[in-house]
Amino acid sequence: MNETPLLNLITDFVDDFRQPAILWQALVIVACLALSWLLVRQLRVFLHQRAEAAATPATPETLQRTDSFIRILTPVLAAMLLGIAQHFLAKFQSVNLLSIAIPLCTSMALVRFGFYVLRRIFARHGDISPTMLLLEKIFTVVVWAGMALYITGLWPELHTFLESIVVPLGRNKVSVAAILQAAISVAVLLVLAMWAGTSLDERLMKMQGLHTSLRVVLSRMGRAVLILVSVLVSLSLVGIDLTVLSVFGGAFGVALGFGLQKIAANFVSGFIILLDRSLTIGDMITVGQFTGKVTQINTRYTVLLGGDGVESIVPNEMLISGGVQNMSLSNRMVWLSTAVSVGYETDLDVIFPLLEEATAKVPRVSQSNPPSATLVRFGADGLDVQIGFWIADPENGTGGVKSNVNRAIWRTLQEHKVTVPFPQRELRIVGTPPAPLASAADGESAPSGTQP
């Protein structure tokens, strides 16, 4: 009867449980786990104290990354300590229990590292979606299944079985094992490339010496290059001849010419916007019927945040081919105005300086460009006066500052007893009263005892 690896594993465990060696292995495992936990705990305290003592306070994202690193380091350190203990203890007794504990700790470290990478890519701001949870579950099942096959020794048999199953692809036949290996290689390299792109993006965004648009361009290009390199490397590892990509490139060019013109135009327009710096994140712009602050400049579209909190997605081609009103391109100063009517008896030489002084005291009103009051027209009910002023932060909206200016003007007019005229109309009835009214009046004047 041929003994299988799983049967050998069970036999070795039964033999170990009959000997005192199992106790020494259990004590070594507990000691290594406790030592790794204590070392990692001290490291965590040290890193948090260092972050608190830094000149720049640590962000919640930084603290979260530190905790994730600590969670990965715990099983890694435990596996290293167990490996060292196994090396020395194997000279005196069997170490079958340690041979299982080390892959378990390694698998735990791999699972936690996978969670860290996936969340860094797809949940950078802490929002974990159901799709993200599904990916984590699939990754966990794959890792633990591989660990179980490795420990039981069934992996070579499974690999041989998958090699025996072939799938016809044209004139060639490819085994299922090769297909799975190719899929795993491509997925792993793509995830690592996206992780590197995310890290590059965060590093570039922290470089205040570079212009915002240049940082975004470098980030987008760096991420695209990393993904392209990962795809080419994965195809080479699988064994696909890269010369076939020329055929694919020709087909892609035809598809681009017919059906993907808008997408390509938006993609190119996004890089043009970032390179010529006509728009940057934080600018207050108006394009077509959309007005708002630029919050994102992506490769295909730009996001505008309106004053009412509504986000508008504007295609980049629209920003290139059409006219755009940028309130903060070279000069962030924006002129605003409000109007009020005063009575004809008002002394304008006295009230104008008062209105300008009251407007200048309103927060957000520019002091370098003082407000000005002007007489616009002689209205039907009063003198129409306009008060103009400048603000330097149009991205914060204009409704609030206009309201504050109007309130300051109203208080000034009330304090100085200035009348604000409003339309007054008199209604005159010309001619004799109608007949029904005259009959009613005659009936009221008749004696009360008179009968009709």
Across the beta sheet with 334-342, what order do the strands follow? 334-342, 383-391, 372-378
Residues 290 and 392 in one domain: no
- Of 282, 297, 326, the one marking the end of a domain is 326
Q: Are 333 and 286 in contact (CB under 8 A)?
A: no
One digit per residue, pLDDT tens: the chain, 452 residues? 455 566 666 676 676 677 777 788 888 889 988 998 898 888 888 877 776 776 566 666 666 777 778 888 888 998 898 888 888 887 887 777 888 888 889 888 898 888 888 888 877 666 677 877 888 888 889 888 888 888 777 788 888 888 888 877 667 777 888 888 888 888 888 888 888 888 888 787 777 766 677 777 778 788 888 888 888 887 777 666 666 666 666 766 776 666 667 777 777 888 788 777 778 888 888 888 888 888 888 878 899 988 778 889 998 888 888 888 887 777 778 889 999 999 999 999 999 999 999 999 999 998 888 999 999 999 888 899 999 999 988 878 788 899 999 999 999 999 998 888 877 667 777 766 665 655 555 555 545 444 44
- pLDDT at residue number 338: 93
How many domains, in total, are found in the chain? 3
Residues 115 and 257 in one domain: no
Residues 322 and 348 in one domain: no
Burial of 159 (0-12, 13-18, 19+ CB in 10 A): middle
pTM: 0.58
- pLDDT at residue number 449: 47
- pLDDT at residue number 1: 44
Residues 13 and 109 in one domain: yes
Burial of 359 (0-12, 13-18, 19+ CB in 10 A): buried
Backbone angles phi, psi at 173, to 5 degrees: -125, 130
Sign of CA dihedral 260, 263, 267, 272: positive
- For β-strands 325-326 and 311-315, DSSP reports them as unpaired
Residues 31 and 105 in one domain: yes
- Domain that residue 108 falls in: 1-164
Give the span between the Cα atoms of 188 and 121, in whole angstroms.
Answer: 13
Residue 190 falls within a domain, yes or no? no
Residue 354: give its domain's CATH number.
Answer: 3.30.70.100
Residues 264 and 356 in one domain: no
| Among the listed residues 201, 200, 194, the one whose alpha carbon sits nearest the alpha carbon of residue 234 | 194
Q: What is the 3-state secondary structure (H, E, C) of the chain?
A: CCCCHHHHHHHHHHHHHCCCHHHHHHHHHHHHHHHHHHHHHHHHHHHHHHHHHCCCCCCHHHHHHHHHHHHHHHHHHHHHHHHHHHHHHCCCCCCHHHHHHHHHHHHHHHHHHHHHHHHHHHCCCCCCCHHHHHHHHHHHHHHHHHHHHHHHCCHHHHHHHHHHCEEEECCEEEEHHHHHHHHHHHHHHHHHHHHHHHHHHHHHHCCCCCCHHHHHHHHHHHHHHHHHHHHHHHHHHHCCCHHHHHHHHHHHHHHHHHCCHHHHHHHHHHHHHHHHCCCCCCCEEEECCEEEEEEEECCCEEEEECCCCCEEEEEHHHHHHCCCEECCCCCCCEEEEEEEEECCCCCHHHHHHHHHHHHHCCCCECCCCCCEEEEEEECCCCEEEEEEEEECCHHHCCHHHHHHHHHHHHHHHHHCCCCCCCCCCCCCCCCCCCHHHHHHHHHHHCCCCCCC
- pLDDT at residue number 359: 93
Give the span between the Cα atoms of 29 and 98, in whole angstroms.
Answer: 7
- pLDDT at residue number 451: 46
Residues 13 and 153 in one domain: yes
| Contact residues for 195 (Cβ-Cβ < 8 A; gap 6+) | 117, 120, 121
Give the span between the Cα atoms of 97 and 249, in whole angstroms.
Answer: 54
Hey, how many other C-beta atoms are within 10 angstroms of the C-beta on 142? 14
Residue 390 falls within a domain, yes or no? yes
- Of 326, 356, 391, the one marking the end of a domain is 326
Residues 258 and 370 in one domain: no
Two tokens, residue 283: 């600018």
- How far, CA to CA in Å, does 356 sit from each of 31, 341, 388, 420? 78, 15, 9, 17
Two tokens, residue 451: 């009968």
Residues 21 and 143 in one domain: yes
Residues 261 and 383 in one domain: no
Residues 86 and 158 in one domain: yes
Give the span between the Cα atoms of 5 and 12, in whole angstroms.
Answer: 10
Residues 268 and 341 in one domain: no
Q: Are 362 and 405 in contact (CB under 8 A)?
A: yes
| Contact residues for 63 (Cβ-Cβ < 8 A; gap 6+) | 48, 51
Q: Are 359 and 387 in contact (CB under 8 A)?
A: yes
